[in-house]
Structure 1
């Protein structure tokens, strides 16, 4: 029995390892930037913000939706920093976006880096779609 259990666990884990066609939602190739600030922001964005902002989950504006981002970006980065830091509440007083994207371990500077990355990405993705 003690020999069978490790083998069974390995077979179970390997069962999920098969080549699958990429799903459409994973097709977006997020930009990379040489600037250290934006490179750090990309890592944070990929780890936290991507969960909602890649494809527009739960009403979050997708990073590929320039029309949705235009009025937000027009308000300026400081306004976006505050939204990311403090969250966004709906008319029902419940968070539509949790403070810090739900990741309370992120420092203020990391939040700003992720926001700057998203702003830069919206610009690049918009240009690439023309």
Structure 2
């Protein structure tokens, strides 16, 4: 039989209080952890949402002035090449034919990208537009 001395601390009570404190800390840490995980999920969702919005904006932005100039240059080159393949520069129809091909390329380019003005072509379609011009064959549309 062990006698409890009233002057000595009650060790079981101290250990029990310490255990309760540790459990309370565990609950607090678990709550903090769960909150952090939820915040991470929310941030990830927001980042994905922002990335989608940025992509939508990128996809809807139209050609820059520099890209318009490059496209104009490609059309000039292609219309001249098409004409040279069919006529000599001394032929009286050369300039007329260059203009005819140029108008045809612009018209078919706008049809291909469903725009009223070539400058309304989306930037993401720029390379496709240049390829279209460079590969343009009037025979495909006659």
Q: TM-score, normalised by structure 1?
A: 0.24
Structure with more of its chain in helix, by fraction? 2
> Which of these two proteins has the greater Rg computed from alpha carbons?
2
Q: TM-score, normalised by structure 2?
A: 0.23
